[in-house]
Structure 1
Amino acid sequence: MNPNKKLNLQPVDRVATISPQDFVEKYVKPQKPVVIEQLTHDWPAYEKWSLAYLKDIAGEVEVPLYDNRPVSAKDKFNEPHAKMKLKDYVDLLKKGPTQYRIFLFNLMKEVPELQEHFKMPNLGIKFLEKLPFLFFGAENSSVFMHYDIDFANILHIHFEGKKRCIIYPPSETKFLYKVPNALISLNEIDFNNPDLEKFPALKLAKGYEAYLEHGEALYMPEGYWHNMTYLTPGFSMSLRTLPKSAKNLGKALYNLTIMRGFENVMRKFKGEDWIDYKNKRAYRRQNERLEK
């Protein structure tokens, strides 16, 4: 089944290279996504980085793993589901499909040598040098639809293999079955093959789609929803900036303090009843909006 015929998606703009002035004027200011195809071609990482290389240079590092199990009151906010040495995880990826993913991991902190393999892009905005996060996934593993807690502008750079990215601007939140007091849409929605009879509001959401190959970079403006699917085993690095909008900076501070703290308290004292309530509320609220 071709999901493009179901979701309202358009291709993300693609450029080979771009000047800092054009990047800011055409994409940062209007908050529009773009794929930069040759951003990393002069990085040592473009030639060096692969799953095999990272296994060799960082194999003994213990990494946190996440899977696609439904959100549970037993877990704290963004708490990993398992841990494993990177060399064992790479072996697991190469054996075949697994739902275990690495999420928001700063491998450069554990292996400083990797910092010498890339440079902060000259795109007219300042990226946070100490927060280059890595993400790993197996063939067909998919990250649930979400937006980032800090409302950062993100440069998502893929290595090895191919990845599909479905993204939506914040304006489409009203159609995405957002879970209350959370950064996610309903976990049961498969954005690669959505059930539009059960979730009809998705037909109204206007989003973008991009396919990333080795070394390509996707710019996602602040607050953008994103769902990533690894079409082959691979990994990506995200560089980020603080939100430029004062409103989004305020939202980020709220998420990092009040929202996250409140969520952990409610999971502790209300347990699965809290999770069930939020999921039912997300579905009911979306249907009420459609009726209006």
Structure 2
Amino acid sequence: MKLKEIPRVGSLTKEQFLRDFLGPQKPVVLTDSIRDWPAYSKWDFDYIRKVAGEKTVPLYDNRPVDHKEGFNQPHATMKMKEYLDLLQKEPTKYRIFLWNVMKEVPELQKDFSFPDFGIPLMKGLPMLFFGGRDSYTFMHYDIDLANIFHFHFAGRKECILFPQSENKYLYKIPHSLITHESIDFSDPDYNQWPGLRHATGYRTYLEHGEVLYMPEGYWHYMKYVTPGFSMSLRSVARNPLNLSKAVYNVVFMRHFDNGMRRIRGKKWIDWKNRKAIERTEKVLKTMPS
């Protein structure tokens, strides 16, 4: 893969962000932009255990998509304090995914503000994500193709991004938001997945208090190098094409996919996996050797 380092800056004015990153749709890491947040000094595992330890949280692991499971259906549940104990004690594949801060732990709202990046943020949807060492998300993009601001706390996280222009090389699963789940994007097997040699994207590592901006519809693979957690804020896609894709995904695609899982079961999953490989191989055959 051709991975460029994501630019890193201390902070940006909204004019600089709009001109240099939102407009051209390029990712950036802000290293010093939230040092004035109470969360910067308060948010660690002990604090989360104190304010949310008794909450029951949905957990996800790295198992392949199963036809019996619904869209984003959790694989297990656990009290937050028990999950944090597990996460800090030993490597675990369990992750917390899309946990709504506003709904679940109102107290945490006092620890952060909504930055003025020059675009409106969805104030009802700040989401938390947790993971143990070596746990990761499959390469995917968000259903609403939003502009995403990813605020990282505790630990270290590897982030690999691709724009939508690279779909043809990524073994994208049809009627889905993921690539083929057998690909290890941290250490890809190019003999098995030769299309990845042609994919151009970005990589960075996030530390405590750093913010990653991911442009609309960007593919992202997140791997926890050490146990850690993050919060995402999002803004609606501004590109009309991306906005129309978001509406299609929410209104039709996810319901169609769930329906086909119920009707065809494992055959539907297997068909989609085959088509992902066939479509990328077809592209490769048209390229000069």
TM-score (norm 1): 0.97
Query: In 1, Cα distance between the equivalents of 2:107 and 2:192?
Result: 49
Equivalent in the alignment of 1:175: 169
Deviation at 1:107, TM superposition (A): 2.9
Partner in structure 1 of residue 189 of structure 2: 195
Tell me what 1:240 maps to. Answer: 234
| Deviation of the 1:131 alpha carbon | 0.4
* C-alpha distance in 1 between matches for 2:102 and 2:123: 11
Q: Please, which of 34, 38, 41 is the counterpart of residue 32 of structure 2?
A: 38
Q: Counterparts of 1:1-292 in structure 2 under 5 Å?
A: 7-292=1-286
Kindly provide the CA deviation profile for residues 155-175 of structure 1, in whole angstroms up to 9, marking residues without a partner as x: 001000110100011111111
Secondary structure, in 3 states, of the residue corresponding to 2:159? strand
Equivalenced residue count is 286
Whole-angstrom distance in 2 between the partners of 1:179 and 1:135: 24
Long gaps (5+) in structure 2: none
Secondary structure at the aligned position of 2:58 is classed as: strand
What is the CA–CA distance in structure 1 between the aligned matches of 2:129 and 2:76, rounded to whole Å? 15
Q: Which residue identity is paired with 2:165?
A: S
Q: CA-atom RMSD, angstroms?
A: 0.7
Find the aligned partners of 1:125 and 1:15 in 2 and give their Cα distance.
19
Q: Which runs of 4+ in 1 moved over 2 A?
A: none
Contact (CA 8 Å) 2:51, 2:107: kept in 1 or not?
Answer: no
Distance in 1 separating the partners of 2:3 and 2:231: 24
User: What SS does structure 1 have at the residue aligned with 2:74?
Assistant: coil
Residue by residue over 1:219-276, the C-alpha shift from the partner in whole angstroms, topping out at 9 and shown as x without a partner, is 0000100000001100000000000011111100100110011011101110001000
Structure 1, unpaired ranges of 5+: 1-6
SS at match of 2:15: helix
Q: Percent identity?
A: 54
